[in-house]
Chains A and B, each alone.
Chain A
Amino acid sequence: MSPTPIDHLTPDDLDAIGAEFDAIRDEVAADLGEADAAYIRRVIAVQRALEVGGRASLMVGLLPPAWFAGTALLSAGKILENMELGHNIMHGQWDWMRDPEIHSTTWEWDNVSASEGWKKSHNVEHHSYTNIVGKDRDLGYTLLRLDPEQPWKPAHLAQPIYNIALAAFFEWGIALYDLEVDEARKGRKPWKRVASDAGRLLRKARKQVVKDYVVWPLLSGPSALPALAGSATANVARNVWTHTIIFCGHFPDGAETFDFDPAELDSESRGAWYVRQLLGSCNIEGPPLLHMASGNLSFQVEHHLFPDLPSNRYAEVAPRVREVCERYGLPYVSGPLHRQYGQVVRKIARMALPGGATQAEPALEPASESRPVALAA
Chain B
Amino acid sequence: MKLLDAAAALTTPVLPEEYLAYVNPLWATRQPRGRVEAVVPETPDAGAQPEGHGVGFPRTHVPGQYVRVGVDVEGVRHWRTYSLTSVPGRPDRRFAITVKAAPEGRVSEQLVRRTRVGDVVRLAPPAGEFVLPTPLDGPLLFVTAGSGVTPVMGMLRALVARGPLPDIAHVHLSPTRPEAIFGDELRRLAHAHPRLSLHEHHDDADGRFDLATLGERVPDWRERHAWACGPAGLLDALTAHYTAEGLSERLHLEHFAPVVAAGPVGTGGRVRFLASGLEVEADGATPILVAGEAGGALLPSGCRMGICHTCVGRLCSGAVRDLRTRELHDTPDALVRTCVSAAAGPVEIDL
Interface residue ranges, A against B (CB under 8 Å): 32-38, 45, 48, 52, 55, 92, 95-101, 103-106, 108-110, 204, 207-208, 210-211, 215-216, 219, 308
Contacts and interface: CB of A to CB of B under 8 A. Distances in A.
A208 B296 contact: no
Nearest to A103: B298
Q: Please indicate which of the listed interface residues B18, B19, B77, B275 has the most CB atoms of chain A within 10 Å of its own CB.
A: B77
Given A104-B276, A105-B276, A105-B298, A98 B13 contact: no
Given A34-B74, A98-B77, A211-B10, 8 more contacts: A95-B297, A97-B75, A97-B76, A98-B298, A99-B72, A103-B298, A104-B276, A208-B13
Contacts of A32: 75
Interface of B: 9-14, 18-19, 22, 31, 72, 74-78, 275-276, 293, 296-298
Nearest to A216: B10
State the main secondary structure of chain A at its contact with B. Answer: helix
Contacts of B14: 108
B74 A33 contact: yes
A92 B296 CA distance: 8
A124 to B, nearest CB: 9
B12 A95 contact: no
Contacts of A308: 296
B6 to A, nearest CB: 9
A97 B18 contact: no
Contact of B13 (A38, A96, A207): A207
Contact of B22 (A34, A45, A99, A101): A45
B74 to A, nearest CB: 4
Contact of B75 (A33, A101, A204): A33
Nearest to A107: B13
Contact of B12 (A34, A52, A106, A207): A207
Contacts of B76: 37, 96-98
A73 to B, nearest CB: 15
A279 B326 CA distance: 50
Nearest to A95: B296
B146 to A, nearest CB: 29
25 contacts: A33-B74, A34-B74, A34-B75, A37-B76, A95-B296, A96-B296, A97-B76, A98-B77, A98-B298, A100-B31, A101-B18, A104-B276, A105-B275, A105-B276, A105-B298, A108-B14, A110-B13, A204-B13, A207-B9, A208-B12, A210-B9, A211-B9, A216-B10, A219-B10, A308-B296
Given A52-B19, A108-B14, A215-B9, A99 B74 contact: no
Nearest to B11: A211
Nearest to B75: A37
A100 B296 contact: no
B77 A99 contact: yes
A6 B18 CA distance: 49
Nearest to B6: A215
A230 to B, nearest CB: 15
- Shortest 8 CB-CB distances between A and B: which pairs? A37-B75, A95-B296, A108-B13, A98-B77, A33-B74, A207-B12, A33-B75, A34-B75
B235 to A, nearest CB: 31
B300 to A, nearest CB: 9
B171 to A, nearest CB: 39
A210 B298 CA distance: 31
Contacts of B275: 105
A95 B22 contact: no
Contacts of A34: 72, 74-75
A216 B7 CA distance: 11
Contacts of A104: 276
A105 B295 CA distance: 14
A312 B199 CA distance: 57
B72 A97 contact: yes
A62 B31 CA distance: 39
A48 B22 CA distance: 9
B31 A98 contact: no
A219 B276 CA distance: 38
A97 B76 CA distance: 4
A308 B297 CA distance: 13
A35 B11 CA distance: 28
Q: Please indicate which of the listed interface residues A38, A52, A98, A101 has the most CB atoms of chain B within 10 Å of its own CB.
A: A98
B276 A97 contact: no
Nearest to B298: A103
A37 B14 CA distance: 20
Given A48-B22, A96-B296, A104-B276, A36 B75 contact: yes
Contact of A215 (B10, B22, B276): B10
B71 to A, nearest CB: 11
Contacts of A97: 72, 75-77
Given A45-B22, A98-B293, A109 B75 contact: no
Contacts of B78: 98
A335 to B, nearest CB: 34
A60 B75 CA distance: 40
Contacts of B22: 45, 48
A361 B18 CA distance: 48
A327 B76 CA distance: 36
Contacts of B19: 48, 52
A99 B75 CA distance: 9
A85 to B, nearest CB: 11
A139 B32 CA distance: 44
Nearest to B74: A33
Contacts of B276: 104-105
B299 to A, nearest CB: 8
Nearest to A40: B75
